C-alpha cells in the first residue's frame, strides 16, 4: 500500500527482475542468503543459471565453448542453490517451490559433471528421488515441471541408459 505507514516489501526476485540483469539475480541471491531467506536465495541462483545457460536445454548441435562456460557456471552456483533448497526441505518437506528448485539445481549439478558420470556415480538416484518427490507433492507445480524433468532425464542419458520409452512413460 503506497503512501501508507506499511509499504509492501519487494521480494528479491522482483527486485532483480526490475534491474533486468542476470547479475542482478546473482546479487539478489547473495543478499537473500545473507538475510537468511534460503529459498529466495536458491531461486535467485537457479534463475540466474537459467538465463546464463539457456535454461539447461538439451542440444542437438554441440557448441564446445558455450558448453564449457555453462558447466563452469553450474559447477560454481548449482551446489549452493541445491544446498539452500535442501535446508528448506529439512524443515518443510512438502514445500513445492523448494522441491522444484532443489530438483532443478541438482539437474544443473548433474549437467556440470556430465551425464555419463552422473549415471555411473550414484548421483542419478538422488536426482530421480528429487523429481519423484516433486511429482508426489505437487504434480501440477509450474505446469508439470516434475514431469518434464523426469522425461528429459531419460532423453539426455547416453546409450544404453537413454530411453524414449521411459521418457514417454514418465
Q: Looking at per-residue confidence, does 62 or 29 come out higher?
A: 29
Whether residue 22 is predicted with pLDDT greater than 90 in this model: the reply is no
Give the count of alpha carbons within 13 A of 33, CB side only: 19
Residues 6 or more apart whose Cβ sits within 8 Å of residue 43: 13, 29, 81, 97, 101
* Residue 131, burial from CB neighbour count under 10 angstroms (0-12, 13-18, 19+): buried
pLDDT band at 87 (very low <50, low <70, confident <90, very high): very high
Residues 6 or more apart whose Cβ sits within 8 Å of residue 89: 95, 98, 99, 102
pLDDT band at 5 (very low <50, low <70, confident <90, very high): very low
Q: Looking at per-residue confidence, does 12 or 30 come out higher?
A: 30
Count CB atoms within 10 A of the CB of residue 35.
11
Please tell me the distance from the alpha carbon of residue 131 to that of residue 105, in angstroms, as a whole number. Answer: 11
Mean pLDDT of 2-31: 68
Q: Is 7 helix (H, G, I), strand (E, B) or coil?
A: coil
Mean pLDDT of 99-123: 83
Whether residue 149 is predicted with pLDDT greater than 80 in this model: the reply is no
> Which of these ranges, 9-13, 28-32, 66-70, has the smallest mean pLDDT?
9-13
Query: Measured between alpha carbons, how far apart are the two ends of the chain, in Å?
Result: 45
pLDDT band at 8 (very low <50, low <70, confident <90, very high): low
Q: What is the pLDDT of residue 10?
A: 63
Amino acid at each position: 500500500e503506497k503512501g501508507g505507514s506499511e509499504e509492501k516489501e519487494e521480494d528479491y526476485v522482483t527486485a532483480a527482475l526490475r534491474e533486468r540483469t542476470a547479475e542482478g539475480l546473482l546479487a539478489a541471491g547473495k543478499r537473500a542468503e545473507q538475510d537468511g531467506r534460503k529459498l529466495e536465495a536458491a531461486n535467485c541462483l537457479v534463475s540466474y543459471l537459467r538465463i546464463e545457460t539457456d535454461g539447461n536445454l538439451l542440444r542437438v548441435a554441440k557448441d564446445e565453448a558455450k558448453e564449457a562456460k555453462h558447466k563452469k557456471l553450474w559447477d560454481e552456483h548449482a551446489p549452493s542453490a541445491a544446498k539452500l533448497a535442501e535446508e528448506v526441505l529439512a524443515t518443510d518437506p512438502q514445500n513445492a517451490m523448494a522441491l522444484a528448485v532443489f530438483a532443478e539445481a541438482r539437474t544443473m549439478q548433474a549437467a556440470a559433471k556430465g551425464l555419463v558420470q552422473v549415471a555411473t556415480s550414484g548421483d542419478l538416484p538422488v536426482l530421480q528421488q528429487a523429481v519423484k518427490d516433486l511429482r508426489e507433492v505437487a504434480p501440477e507445480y509450474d505446469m508439470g515441471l516434475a514431469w518434464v524433468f523426469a522425461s528429459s532425464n531419460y532423453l539426455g542419458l547416453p546409450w544404453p541408459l537413454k530411453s524414449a520409452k521411459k521418457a514417454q512413460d514418465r
